[in-house]
Amino acid sequence: MDAVNDFLIFLDGFLGSAVWFPALLLSVGVFFTLYLGFPQIRYFRHAIRVTTGKFDKLGAKGDTSHFQALATALSGTVGTGNIGGVALALHLGGPAALFWMWMTAFFGMTSKFVEVTLSHKYRSQTADGTMAGGPMYYMEKGLNAKWLAIIFAMATVLSSFGTGNLPQINSIAAGLQSTFALDPLITASVLSVCLALVIIGGITRIAKVAAAIVPTMALIYLVGAMDVIIPNIGNILPSFAAIFSDAFTGSAATGGFLGATFAYAFDRGVNRGLYSNEAGQGSAPIAHAAARTDEPADEGMVSILEPFIDTIIICTITGLVILSSGVWLEKFENEFQRADMSFVAGNYSEENPADVEQLFAFLNGDDSNVSRYSGQINLIAGQAADDGDFTLISSRSLAEHTVYSRAEEPITGSLTVVNGRLEDTEVVVSGESLLHSVPLTTMAFSRGLFGDFGKYIVAIGLMLFAFSTAIAWSYYGDRAMTYLLGAKSVLPYRIVYVLGFFYAALADTTVIWNVALITIVLMTVPNLIGIMFMHKEMKRTVSEYWKKTDHGKHRT
């Protein structure tokens, strides 16, 4: 598993973590924002009116209402990215990462408007009477580039696992285990059955479940967040100040946080922003294709609301809870994951600025005097017998009060470390370090008026958020399979999807998230290329829409 994780990190260095990807994502959003005249601002009010059904017409083709399509798409985006993804972005990039998540959402509102409108315009009706749409249809019919459509559809199937399946159940299992001490095997078994029962019903059942879950989970989460923000209200303005002041400079080291450069905050913020709202990824157009309307731009208008709700509202709330509570700077007792640990040669201290600078460069993959440790660790009752000549880094922080055990028994003897990794994979290492992802958000929610009870809100909210995401992404995957291999391929796909869901509950969290980073890029790049080539048709479609509807006042 260490080798798999290292390979994923290697690939990510050329894909999601390379500077070209966030630059491409934002550039496309900026281009369409300027080209179409800031539609995310000009059309926002109209989008709300369309969503509420003000312009619905009897007899329009489709399987769901505008609200149900929006709820389905939101259920696909509002998930672990809003709870664990924001925490991971802040853990890696500091407060500035939230600023770049906002930028991704603002310009992503336009990207989503474009991709949904074009995809809805070229949707098709399948043999069973349901609607099928998505970027693969505009790529084939609008661009005459079936080869690109096939690449996108294949990437969608992969991403349905990497984005919508594996990280969701993994986070649910981790959250329920830490909060309720629930065995991940039980979580995997129960929720896998529930998932199977929902997705068998297709888009109609999925849309109904999503329309019920999304408002409920949003309300529960908001109540829990206000429980933390209100007693920490004095830290809200300083939190906003840090977000904006660090946006173009990076965040300095403080507490257990080793610091973040501008480039790192930019990259992590944009990447996590995309994971959260999926603007430009091409996933939401598949859900919106089912909406009942004969006007493609109608559904494009509805989709403008998604990044706003998902990132600018929900992710901001999560970010403020974490920043205002101060937990992102604190170390907590936890069990270290192998993928988060690295033994380095020499003794380092957070009190020494030179040490902090070198460690941060090492973690970033830049030139550094820090090297990975290889050698022995001598232990007595689970603790290092002396300071030795190594330092353990866990979750990008210096580990403290470390205990080594095997089969829940502290180890006395020696362990071998090779190139920064423990050779014995059965050894469990625990101690104090920074937290990230869901555990960090869980800790933040326990710093409010509800005290430790706040963590239950995270666990419940996470279960609803993540489960609804897995439901929505199963639909995206089966539409892609329908495009590639026909309707007969849907049932085998759903079976594999449920099995993958079960397995991921028991897998390493860091590895799962690294898989997500890669599959997102594979799906997003073809879609961004496609909508750029269709920019003139997009502008023409919007112009015709406004002429036909007289700015939404009537239908012809």
Return per-residue pLDDT of the chain as tens, 556 residues. Answer: 667 777 777 887 788 777 888 889 899 999 999 999 999 999 999 999 999 888 878 778 877 888 888 887 887 777 777 888 889 889 888 899 999 999 999 999 999 999 999 999 999 887 777 788 899 999 999 999 999 999 999 999 989 998 888 888 888 887 788 788 889 999 999 999 999 998 887 777 887 887 788 788 788 888 899 999 999 999 999 999 999 988 888 787 787 887 777 777 887 788 777 767 888 899 989 988 888 888 899 999 999 999 999 899 999 999 999 999 999 999 999 999 888 899 999 999 988 989 988 998 888 777 888 999 999 999 999 999 876 689 999 999 999 999 999 989 999 999 999 999 999 989 999 999 999 888 899 999 999 998 988 888 888 888 888 888 898 899 899 999 999 998 899 999 999 999 999 988 887 666 776 777 788 888 999 999 999 999 999 999 999 999 887 655 544 3
Which residues lie across from 266 on neighbouring strands?
A: none
Q: Which residue has the tokens 């079976």?
A: 495
pLDDT at 98: 92
pLDDT at 387: 66
Q: 382, 404, 433 — which closes off a domain?
A: 433
Determine, yes or no, domain membership for 165. yes
**Distance (Å, rounded) from C-alpha 183 to C-alpha 173?**
8
- Nearest residue to 286 via CA among 532, 483, 54, 107: 483
228 plus 370 within the same structural domain: no
**Distance (Å, rounded) from C-alpha 255 to C-alpha 259?**
10
How many separate domains does the chain show? 2
Radius of gyration of the chain (CA): 24
550 close to 185: Cβ distance less than 8 angstroms: no
Determine, yes or no, domain membership for 517. yes
Answer yes or no: pTM beyond 0.75: yes
Angle (nearest 5°) at CA 207 between 141 and 499:
85
**Residues in CB range of 46: below 8 A, 6 or more apart:** 301, 551, 552
pLDDT at 519: 84
pLDDT at 556: 39
396 plus 528 within the same structural domain: no
Burial class (CB in 10 A: 0-12, 13-18, 19+), 56: middle
434 close to 396: Cβ distance less than 8 angstroms: yes
370 plus 448 within the same structural domain: no
**Distance (Å, rounded) from C-alpha 355 to C-alpha 70?**
49
287 plus 388 within the same structural domain: no
Q: Which residue has the tokens 């408007």?
A: 113
pLDDT at 516: 75
**Distance (Å, rounded) from C-alpha 286 to C-alpha 472?**
10
Q: 433, 457, 491 — which closes off a domain?
A: 433
**Residues in CB range of 203: below 8 A, 6 or more apart:** 63, 64, 72, 130, 290, 475
Q: Which domain holds residue 402?
A: 332-433
pLDDT at 553: 56
- Nearest residue to 399 via CA among 349, 362, 440, 472: 349
357 plus 223 within the same structural domain: no
274 plus 347 within the same structural domain: no
201 plus 142 within the same structural domain: yes
pLDDT at 506: 83
464 plus 384 within the same structural domain: no
pLDDT at 435: 93
165 plus 225 within the same structural domain: yes
387 plus 245 within the same structural domain: no
pLDDT at 217: 79
**Residues in CB range of 285: below 8 A, 6 or more apart:** 115, 116, 118, 119, 120, 133, 134, 135, 303
Tokens representing 265 are 């905050």
Determine, yes or no, domain membership for 439. no
**Residues in CB range of 301: below 8 A, 6 or more apart:** 43, 46, 47, 50, 113
**Distance (Å, rounded) from C-alpha 518 to C-alpha 491?**
26
Determine, yes or no, domain membership for 62. no
pLDDT at 509: 62
